């Protein structure tokens, strides 16, 4: 039983970051119906910016916000410079999704050009070797910090969407773009903000994943796929579902890695997703999308 709860705790820590990645995917999908396949690469760029700043002895409390803002501005620039012109030319949703795939390739090339192919160790104030023992359980600094950041970020986003004028504008824009424009809501700005927030949460997840992984231009590929899976599992139009789905993926992968095999660790969560979607195609918390004409 102690081993089970230890795996559960580790799963919650990893799952909280997958939830941040899933929230970014859901934010963009809710507002534009676009699946952003460059989400992980934008997070990687922001994380490498943080790595550069920290390597030059900039304090973490300065490197963190600078990197988050950089990632958000990069995403907003992409929206205004690429997505908006494509929409004005009546690009299909599939065409816009393909554009995000192209951006992913461009960002991967930029990462290789500016930071090379060598793996790096992320300078970080929290360590995964400093361990505290509470009864039969043990916790390291990094896992505790990861869990707190993931859950806090999810809660803050929930209150932003549910309790602020910006959140109300984002919900109105995602429900009916034309009606929101008629009401005077600056929909382009609201949509760009959604892209920026999504990238911000992706960079935040990347910064806390990097110390536990080897930092290279492709280190966010697996977390992106798991966050994407969490978003699908929870429901692509549900923020609550994104959090729950991310946590489920983290827990299940740790339990399967501990009780089945490490080789099977990355397979079991996807098998569960297939089974759930066979019963609920919209995901656990998702609703069927009906577009108003």
| Separation between Cα atoms, residue 291 and residue 137, nearest integer Å | 49
- Taking alpha carbons only, the member of 282, 281, 249 closest to residue 268 is 249
B/e letters for 80-103, b = 16+ CB within 10 Å, e = fewer, are: eebbeeebeeebeeeebbebbeeb
B/e letters for 188-213, b = 16+ CB within 10 Å, e = fewer, are: eebbbbbbbbbbbbbbbbbbbbbbbe
* pLDDT tens column, 151-196: 999 999 988 988 899 888 988 888 888 888 888 889 999 999 999 9
Residue 108 confidence (pLDDT): 94
| Separation between Cα atoms, residue 42 and residue 44, nearest integer Å | 5
Q: Is the dihedral of CA 189, 82, 49, 213 positive or negative?
A: positive
Is the predicted pLDDT of residue 145 greater than 80, yes or no?
A: yes
Place of tokens 């396949």: 37
Residue 126 confidence (pLDDT): 87
Percent of the chain at pLDDT exceeding 90: 52
Per-residue pLDDT averaged across 263-282, rounded?
79
Is the predicted pLDDT of residue 293 greater than 70, yes or no?
A: no
| Separation between Cα atoms, residue 144 and residue 150, nearest integer Å | 10
Rounded to the nearest integer, the mean pLDDT of the chain is: 88
Q: How does DSSP assign 91-128, residue by residue?
A: --HHHHHHHHHHHHHHHHHHHHHHH-S--B----SS-S
**Which stretch of DSSP H or E encloses residue 285?**
none
Residue 6 confidence (pLDDT): 84
Per-residue pLDDT averaged across 74-100, rounded?
93
Is the predicted pLDDT of residue 3 greater than 90, yes or no?
A: no
- The number of residues in the chain equals 293
Contacts of residues 258-261 at CB distance under 8 Å and 24 or more positions apart, as own/partner, are: 258/3, 258/7, 259/7
Residue 153 has which token pair?
Answer: 């970020």
User: Distance between terminal CA atoms of the chain?
Assistant: 54
Per-residue pLDDT averaged across 41-54, rounded?
95
Per-residue pLDDT averaged across 251-274, rounded?
80
| Separation between Cα atoms, residue 15 and residue 256, nearest integer Å | 14
| Separation between Cα atoms, residue 216 and residue 95, nearest integer Å | 29
What Å distances lie between residue 134 and 5, 100, 130, 143, CA to CA? 12, 45, 13, 14
Residue 265 or 113, more confident = 113
């Amino acid at each position: 039983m102690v081993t089970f709860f230890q795996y559960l705790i580790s799963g919650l820590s990893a799952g909280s970051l997958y939830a941040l990645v899933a929230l970014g995917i859901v934010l963009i999908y809710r507002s534009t119906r676009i699946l952003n396949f460059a989400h992980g690469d934008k997070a990687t760029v922001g994380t490498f910016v943080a790595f550069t700043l920290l390597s030059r002895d900039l304090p973490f409390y300065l490197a963190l916000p600078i990197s988050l803002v950089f990632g958000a501005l990069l995403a907003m620039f992409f929206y205004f410079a690429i997505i908006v012109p494509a929409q004005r030319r009546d690009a299909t949703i599939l065409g816009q999704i393909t554009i995000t795939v192209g951006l992913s390739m461009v960002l991967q090339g930029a990462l290789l050009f500016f930071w090379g192919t060598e793996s790096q160790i992320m300078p970080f104030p929290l360590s995964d070797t400093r361990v505290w023992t509470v009864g039969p359980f043990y916790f390291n600094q990094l896992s505790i910090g990861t869990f707190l950041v993931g859950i806090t970020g999810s809660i803050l986003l929930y209150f932003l969407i549910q309790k602020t004028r910006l959140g109300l504008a984002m919900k109105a824009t995602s429900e009916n773009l034309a009606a929101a424009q008629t009401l005077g809501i600056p929909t382009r700005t609201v949509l760009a903000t959604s892209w920026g927030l999504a990238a911000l949460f992706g960079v935040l997840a990347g910064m806390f994943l990097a110390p536990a992984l080897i930092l290279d231009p492709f280190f966010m590929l697996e977390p992106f796929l798991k966050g994407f899976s969490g978003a699908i599992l929870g429901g692509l139009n549900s923020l609550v579902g994104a959090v729950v789905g991310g946590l489920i993926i983290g827990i299940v992968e740790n339990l399967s890695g501990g009780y089945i095999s490490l080789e099977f660790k990355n397979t079991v969560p996807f098998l569960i997703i297939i089974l759930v979607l066979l019963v609920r195609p919209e995901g656990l918390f998702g609703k069927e999308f009906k577009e108003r004409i």
